[in-house]
Amino acid sequence: VSSPSLSPRRLLAVLLVLSIIATGCYRYETRQFDIAIPEQAESSIVVSRNGSLITTLVAPENRTSARRLDEIPELVRNAVLAIEDERFYEHDGFDIKAIIRAARSNLETGGISQGGSTITQQYVKLAIIENVEQTASRKLEELWYATRLEDEYGKDFILLQYLNTVYFGHGAYGIKAAALSYFNKDVSQLGVAEAAMLAGLLKAPSRYDPFRDYAAGLRRSHLVLDRMLANDFLTAEEHAEAMASPPQLEEYEPRLETEYPAGHFVEEVRLWFLDNPAFGASRSIREMLLYEGGLRIETTIDLNLQMAAEQAVENHLPANQGHPDAAVVVMDPQNGHVLVMVGGRDFFADDEDAKVNLAVGNGRQAGSSFKPIGLAAALESGWEPTAFYPAPTMIEFFIPGADVDNRVWRVSGGVNGHDALEPRFEKGLTALFQFMVREGHLDAPADHVEVIAYRDEPEDDPEYIGVRLAEWSNNRRWEYGRGELFDYRVAMLEDVPGWSWEPPEGQILVPAPEPPTVDLIRATRRSYNSVFAQLSMQMGAQRVVSMARRLGMRSPVQPVNSNVLGTSDVTLID
């Protein structure tokens, strides 16, 4: 038996009864709220460590909130009202007709295809309610706040707050930000077609983003224009003209009007503030506080040291002479305060990368400045600073489990510098094959030098290398006899026709010269790579990473042994 369908009037009665029952059953503690903006905005200032003024913060143009509703043209407001809440000035915070229409649509589709939220309800969700779950209790809380908001504040105030807060996509919070982000113009300069495109973004900013899918954004804007016509916000002629004039996008390019000292540092302070939820629940709230809240932001920067550091960069790497940029950070080791931050040559220059802060960002390889961290990890783990290690010019380690290209870690840099006395194994083996193919045997004279054209990859230009074959073969046999030759290299040599682990008749194996030994103190002061590579292999890479983290390093440092030599990218702040 099928039940008769409910008429709209009966459906409304059922909904009202259910609402009364639900409200009677629902008890919660309501919290006080106060939504207001100061009558007079006051700029915030940034000062140095001694209190001297660095700059007064001025908001980038696409992040300034409207202070009065009449700053937003009526046609823009009407576009938003037409698509989001056409009965905004008629309801008391929630719209029964819209709720019934949405309920009917959702019943017909078997899911949630429409919402019945008014602009007031949307603003409540944006600025007041933290709970975003789709539950009956949250919906009732939303309705309660919406009606109270309507009682305590006027319609124009609510609409202004909504238009300053709502997200339009493409990084734009608020209608003024959206006008600049999509059209690079002030909201007061928007035309009807442009206003319709912005209003159309509110339902799904990512889906209708015209920078990503212009056709989808345009179709949505046409729906907005149709709703504006239906609500008498446009005449037929204005509607036709807007439909025939697709808006032209133009991305916003922020401009700084004033210059001030330590530009990169001030920009880091600004970004830190805007990304910090301690200063407001949403970015738009934090922006209003930063640019209009009259804050005094006290920093650690020393302007005299900053000027000296910038001059030092200019002295060593003069501008306009093809030199690279440089970065400088000076910190107080007692408390970690940043006294100097030079992030590049000139923050206010016209170059594309002028505002890239080289002191932070992705960083650069730390190099030998990482060795003291490795030493600290070793001392914490029980190593003595007087522990002795050989410091050869070159040393190799076999890395179990690594792929073929990375199975051997070859480290150069010891007491005698970085230039190894003999080429790496692969080059010596190539020379041995070349000699064997040409001569038919492997007994190279003691003073013979075999020259090869070696390529790491077939498409590479050749590298011409001379190999003293007799000495090279002697050293491999010596390593084999002492159990120091990697297994895969043993197999490769044994595949060479005529190879023997015994020296040629009448010759004896000669031990390779022993490298000098040094203690960890000297190895640190002299920055001997081969010593720290041995140290890392013994104590494990994770200890170095752990020490770096506890010392305050925030850049990603992977637990690999080469990090003790500074192969990870870290920032100057680190």
84 is catalytic: yes
**Which amino acid, residue 560?**
V
Residue reference for tokens 């649509």: 105
Other beta carbons within 10 angstroms of residue 128's beta carbon come to 17
Residues 6 or more apart whose Cβ sits within 8 Å of residue 141: 28, 129, 131
Least Cα distance to 562 among 386, 404, 412 occurs for 412
Which one of the listed residues 43, 368, 555, 562 is annotated catalytic?
368
Q: SS3 for 161?
A: helix
Q: What distance in Å separates the CA atoms of residue 19 and residue 10, rounded to the nearest whole number?
A: 14
108 is catalytic: no
Q: What distance in Å separates the CA atoms of residue 341 and residue 329, rounded to the nearest whole number?
A: 5
Q: SS3 for 388?
A: strand
Q: What distance in Å separates the CA atoms of residue 468 and residue 445, rounded to the nearest whole number?
A: 9
Residue reference for tokens 């056409």: 86
The Cβ-side half-sphere exposure at 371, using a 13 Å CA radius, reads 20
Element containing residue 472 per DSSP (H, E): helix 469-481
Q: What distance in Å separates the CA atoms of residue 422 and residue 476, rounded to the nearest whole number?
A: 11
Q: What distance in Å separates the CA atoms of residue 434 and residue 503, rounded to the nearest whole number?
A: 19
Q: What distance in Å separates the CA atoms of residue 73 and residue 190, rounded to the nearest whole number?
A: 8
Q: What distance in Å separates the CA atoms of residue 91 and residue 97, rounded to the nearest whole number?
A: 10
Beta carbons of 347 and 355 less than 8 angstroms apart: yes
Element containing residue 8 per DSSP (H, E): helix 8-25
Q: What distance in Å separates the CA atoms of residue 239 and residue 79, rounded to the nearest whole number?
A: 12
Output the CA torsion 373→378→382→388 (10° steps).
-130
Which residue intervals of 317-457 are DSSP H helices? Answer: 371-380, 425-439
Q: SS3 for 104?
A: helix
Which one of the listed residues 61, 84, 310, 450 is annotated catalytic?
84
Active site residues: 84, 368
